A = this chain, B = another copy of it.
């Protein structure tokens, strides 16, 4: 079982709630994914559409909410969003996301460390989204991050884990759970991250924009389990030299 802070999770697939074509599709896809932890964002209420309330579609008994600070460009904005999330969501859990540059949506290491330290002191359970920077991961856990969330590739690119060597080092050194976030575009990407020893993965775009989000959610759920099981069972090493899978003896009669 995965433990983060004082909470345990059976599912190692975290779900995002953005980009779904409809609330109904989102509900069914999340159910199919088996996710227990789901992310949500904070935005101004659209007063022309008061009934459009995601909370009407998500059972808080079923899902553990992880509000994100998406949109924040620095620590100050992120902290403001964190406090709003705590007030409306009645939770101190937070996916800290600070992305100053809307072109790349890559996280800011300096502001992320600063905000993590302040928010932890203020009682938040902070899971920072971060570049796959092993030293930064060490510093984030030193200031009390409950987990680290290194990126596989830029948000929404579906390119998978382009940061393999960095993620491998982060996993090797981490004292807190490592959740690979962003860019996982196919179940095989999620499985590969889990095989490396990641504790969990977060997937949103690849499920939400799939031709069939419900089936894709199921596929990611299976792949995450497959990757975790393989990691626990122990993978064979890669080798350049071929080795027969059938016996090499007992063929004298052929020659």
Contact = CB atoms under 8 A, between A and B. Distances in A.
A43 B247 contact: yes
Given A109-B109, A188-B195, A239 B43 contact: no
Interface in A1-36: 16, 18-19
Contacts of A220: 226, 230
A128 B70 CA distance: 29
Contacts of A218: 229
A136 interface: yes
Contacts of A234: 210-212, 216
Given A165-B154, A253-B44, A254-B77, A104 B226 contact: no
A216 B230 CA distance: 5
- Size bracket, chain A contacts: 35 or more
Contact of A191 (B72, B191, B232): B191
A243 interface: yes
Contacts of A118: none
Given A134-B104, A191-B223, A205 B243 contact: yes
A141 interface: no
Interface string A158-173: 1100101110010001
A51 interface: no
Nearest to A222: B226
Given A18-B245, A133-B133, A226 B229 contact: no
A87 to B, nearest CB: 14
Contacts of A243: 105, 155-157, 205
A162 B159 contact: no
Task: Kindly list the 9 A-B residue pairs having the minimum CB-CB distance in the complex, ordered from nearest.
Answer: A211-B234, A43-B250, A156-B243, A70-B246, A188-B191, A212-B233, A41-B246, A222-B226, A188-B192
5 contacts: A101-B134, A109-B110, A165-B240, A187-B223, A212-B232
